[in-house]
Amino acid sequence: MSTDANAGVLQRLSSFLADWQLKHRLPLLVLFVLITIVLGYQASFLRMDPGFDKSIPTKHDYMKVYHEYSPVFGGANVVIISLMAKEGVIFTEEFMDTLAAATQDTLFITGVDRSSVMSIFTPQVNFVAVDEDGFVGYRVVKPDFANTQKDRDEVYRNLLQSTEVGRLVTADFTGALIRAELVEVDPTTGEALNYSDVAAALDEIRARYESDSVAVHVIGFSKFIDKVIDAALGVVWFFVISLAMTAVLLYFYSSSGQITFLAILVAMTAVVWQLGLVHTMGYGIDPLSILVPFLILSIGVSHAIQMTNQWKIEILQGATNKEAARESFNKLFIPGATALLTLAVGFAVITLIDIQILFELAITASVGTGVMIITNKFMLPGLLSYANMSPKTIERLKKQNTGDVKPFWWFLSGFVERKRANVVLFFAAIACVFGVWKGADLIIGDSEAGAAEFWPDAVYNQDINSIITNFDIGIDEITIIAELDRDGCVKYELMETVDHFVWEMSNVAGVQSIASLSTILKVRTVGNAEGHPKFFAVPRNQYSLSSAMRNMELNQKVFNDKCDAIPVRIFLADHKADTLEAVIIAVKAFEAKHGRDGVHFRLASGTAGVMAAINEAVKDAESTMLIALFTATGILTYLTFFSFRGALCVLIPLGLVSYLGNAVMVMMGIGLKVSTLPVVALGVGVGVDYGIYLFSRMQAALREGKGLRDAYYYALTSSGTAVVFTACTMSIGVATWYFSELKFQADMGLLLAYMFFVNMIAAIFVLPALASWIIDVDAERSSSAGMSH
């Protein structure tokens, strides 16, 4: 079938659907109302659905190691509570009572793996010393601790003989730490762990034990996600504000309360359908995906403005409300549906990354864009067919639109002429080069220390800063598993390699401290040699190694039951992408050089290990995603116009804005990660919207016999006004997010403002400039002639 015939089929399909939906508009609207009621009811049961395991790329090699060894050496879902004495040291009656009570409370938090809880009051925390009888050792805090001065002095001496100074207590003894791991399933109910309940229990500990003499700091995934959920109410208010601003501006733009109401109503209906369907499919909303429904709302408003604007134009040209609704549908259904399908594909390609949270996000966003084809392309024209504008308003708008030519739009249409087009293309080429150059520095992961989702002065980030400043360990832990021969931890040549690995890693930038069996053995060897520092080395024979390991137990999690796996816990100063990458490179380099039969070093467990896996999963899929996204966009755009030239006119500005978007993210210090991917996908979708609407009107005018400039002028006056208004309005609305409590939302607001506005600039200026060189006017006119036959 020829291109002309294909285009004719689409036009006939659009015309048929326009007649069909208006013929059945009343039953369709009743059906839509019933669907809205049912899905609204379903949406009322939708809840936040956070989960640590949802953020893990399960098929990644690092996570295979994580799942293999986490039952033995512990997982990555960690909670850390630090208690800091505001004056003096920890060896006071009040502080020790507080630490003991806080440890007990932590043990009984639902979801805490009790065997993982560590503080100086837990039984697995011990010390080893040497006297005339050999090795002696016991718990740092004995079971019958009575908190007398004598007992506290004994704890002080025991700590000095342990490896816990800097880890469970600060080096200056002004603070102590409680560390615990969480399970993903609530042991009492068998259901997914409720992180809000865990966070509430942690808040109770803070409130109960924080005083004039003790400061309490709490970090961990449960507290992080709870803080995001708490801030969600503020997020909603900012969306309400931006939506209200959009409604006000839309009213002044359209001069119609009915049009404003219907546009907002239909956009809101799409969100209700989306949330209802998401719950019906068995999913929830992850707190880090909270922006997705509001992105869908923004897209819905954009498409609704296009439809209502076309309806208004038809009314001003003398059509009845029903005729205007039909023509609006007929002219905008194909380009609008294609734009929405393209956006759905854009979100769907995110599923190429093997992370459950991204899969659910992609489903949520794709469902939202899919239902908009019904709400915006069928429901809205049906509603508009019942709407009306007062004769006075119509007369006033006609007066405003009198005149043969609108100077502003005629000026802009001049960019389709080659003299001006060449200037635009020159600056576009410079912008593209800058975008490629600067965008090459885009970081996969976090570019800042702490939790990038919060402002630096947020309580959670202050807690992180306090803990990493005062202790040698923190939440950012990457665990490397040294795999040995059976009983390898009593074989000198293998343990010496492990110790060499520890030394190499300790010299990597960003590494704060390392805990490993080899270090413990060296400390014990010094003790066995009357404290002489020259014996700070791994014992050189099996018997000395076995002696040094005396009284060590499996619950200390420094070796497994076969002694063929040893965790090397590397505590980092932060989890910035550069820090993680430096450690990963160093581990791989050491394994390549020193790994052999009997000893290998496998990445990676721990919180930072999970983050490294996520970063690599995103990085590995990035190129595939972009290729899939632009390929799908190109195919759908071609199927809209049946013109390769037309598809190029839409795709090239899209690529330009995409490269510039990467550069903007670099300049804003935003990394590409789970929470920013939807915005990147949305940027492509918004650009497609603008480009398709403009070029479809331009192509229609060319096929009516207009010249290139006249055709572009027609496109500007019909769809361009809506494109410019939508971009400016939505940019202003999302820019208000800058004042959000969540830095993540503030960053996304600025990034979205860029996406909305710069995509509009590219569509208005770069698209016609390209058309001046690419579009064959005679071919388009002949296509029209072919279609008429």
Tell me: the pLDDT tens digits for 694-742? 888 888 888 888 888 999 998 998 888 888 888 888 888 788 888 888 8
Per-residue confidence band for 428, with pLDDT thresholds at 50, 70 and 90: very high
Tell me: the pLDDT tens digits for 463-505? 988 988 898 877 788 999 999 998 888 888 998 999 999 999 9
**pLDDT of amino acid 153:** 93
**How much of the chain, in percent, has pLDDT values that exceed 70?**
93
SS3 category, 572: strand
* 596 φ/ψ angles, rounded to the nearest 5 degrees: -160, 180
Per-residue confidence band for 789, with pLDDT thresholds at 50, 70 and 90: very low
Question: How far is Cα 310 from Cα 313, in angstroms, rounded to an integer?
Answer: 5
**How much of the chain, in percent, has pLDDT values that exceed 90?**
28
- Do you know the residue count of the chain? 789
Question: How far is Cα 110 from Cα 188, in angstroms, rounded to an integer?
Answer: 8
Tell me: the pLDDT tens digits for 104-129? 999 999 989 888 899 999 988 888 76
Tell me: the pLDDT tens digits for 374-387? 999 899 999 999 98
Q: What is the mean pLDDT of the chain?
A: 85
Between residues 4 and 172, which one has the greater pLDDT?
172
**To which H or E segment does residue 786 belong?**
helix 777-788
Tell me: the pLDDT tens digits for 739-752? 888 888 788 888 88
Tell me: the pLDDT tens digits for 222-251? 888 888 887 776 777 777 887 888 888 888
Question: How far is Cα 618 from Cα 612, in angstroms, rounded to an integer?
Answer: 10
Sequential DSSP letters for 495-532? HHHHHHHHHHHHTSTTEEEEE-HHHHHHHHHHHHTTT-
Question: How far is Cα 245 from Cα 780, in angstroms, rounded to an integer?
Answer: 41
Whether the per-residue pLDDT at 547 is higher than 80: the answer is no
Tell me: the pLDDT tens digits for 18-71? 889 888 899 999 999 999 999 999 999 988 777 777 888 888 898 888 888 888
* Whole-number Cα distances in Å, 678 to 347, 360, 397, 503: 7, 12, 39, 41
Question: How far is Cα 337 from Cα 377, in angstroms, rounded to an integer?
Answer: 8
Question: How far is Cα 186 from Cα 220, in angstroms, rounded to an integer?
Answer: 17
**pLDDT of amino acid 780:** 59
**pLDDT of amino acid 677:** 73
In the numeric block, the tokens 């990458």 are attached to 581
Tell me: the pLDDT tens digits for 192-208? 888 888 999 999 999 99
What are the structure tokens assigned to 393, written together?
């308003």
Tell me: the pLDDT tens digits for 331-368? 888 888 888 888 888 788 887 778 888 888 888 888 98
**pLDDT of amino acid 131:** 64
* Whole-number Cα distances in Å, 222 to 18, 151, 194: 51, 35, 9
Per-residue confidence band for 787, with pLDDT thresholds at 50, 70 and 90: very low
**pLDDT of amino acid 97:** 94
**pLDDT of amino acid 169:** 93
Cβ within 8 Å of residue 685, ≥6 positions away: 299, 339, 342, 343, 346, 347, 369
Per-residue confidence band for 765, with pLDDT thresholds at 50, 70 and 90: very high
Whether the per-residue pLDDT at 4 is higher than 60: the answer is no
What are the E-state strand segments in 532-640? Answer: 565-572, 599-605
Nearest CA to 195 out of 151, 236, 143, 230 is that of 230
Sequential DSSP letters for 652-709? HHHHHHHHHHHHHHHHHT--BSTTTHHHHHHHHHHHHHHHHHHHHHHHHHHHTT--HH
SS3 category, 480: strand
Per-residue confidence band for 1, with pLDDT thresholds at 50, 70 and 90: very low
Cα Rg, the chain, nearest whole Å:
32
Mean pLDDT of 606-629: 84
Per-residue confidence band for 531, with pLDDT thresholds at 50, 70 and 90: low
Nearest CA to 571 out of 127, 159, 66, 166 is that of 166
Question: How far is Cα 100 from Cα 91, in angstroms, rounded to an integer?
Answer: 12
| Residues linked to residue 484 through DSSP beta bridges, in sequence order | 599
